[in-house]
Amino acid sequence: MSGWQRTLIAVKPDGVQRRLVGQIIQRFEQRGFKLVGLKMVQASHGILSEHYGELRTKPFFQSLLTYMSSGPVVVMVWEGHNVVQASRKMVGQTNPAEAPAGTIRGDFSVHVSRNVVHASDSQEGAQKEIQLWFPAKDLLDWDCCDQIYTIEV
Ligand X SMILES: Nc1ncnc2c1ncn2[C@@H]1O[C@H](COP(=O)(O)OP(=O)(O)OP(=O)(O)O)[C@@H](O)[C@H]1O
Ligand Y SMILES: O=c1ccn([C@@H]2O[C@H](COP(=O)(O)OP(=O)(O)O)[C@@H](O)[C@H]2O)c(=O)[nH]1
* Closer residue to ligand Y (CB): 21 or 112: 112
**DSSP, residue by residue, 73-120:** EEEEEEEEETHHHHHHHHH--SSGGGSPBTBHHHHH---GGG-SEEE-
> In the set 113, 122, 131, 147, which binds ligand Y (CB under 6 A)?
113
Phi and psi dihedrals of 69, rounded to 5? -105, 10
The three-class DSSP label of residue 33 is: coil
| Range in contact with ligand Y (rule: CB under 6 A) among 36-44, 114-122, 128-136, 142-150 | 114-122
Point out the residue whose Cβ comes nearest to ligand X.
94
- Residue 79 to residues 43, 51, 108, 124, 146: CA-CA distances in angstroms? 23, 20, 23, 15, 14
17 near ligand Y, judged by CB under 6 A: no
* Closer residue to ligand Y (CB): 94 or 147: 94
62 near ligand Y, judged by CB under 6 A: no
118 in active site: yes
Binding positions for ligand Y, rule: CB under 6 A: 55, 60, 64, 94, 112-113, 115, 118, 121
Residues with catalytic roles: 118
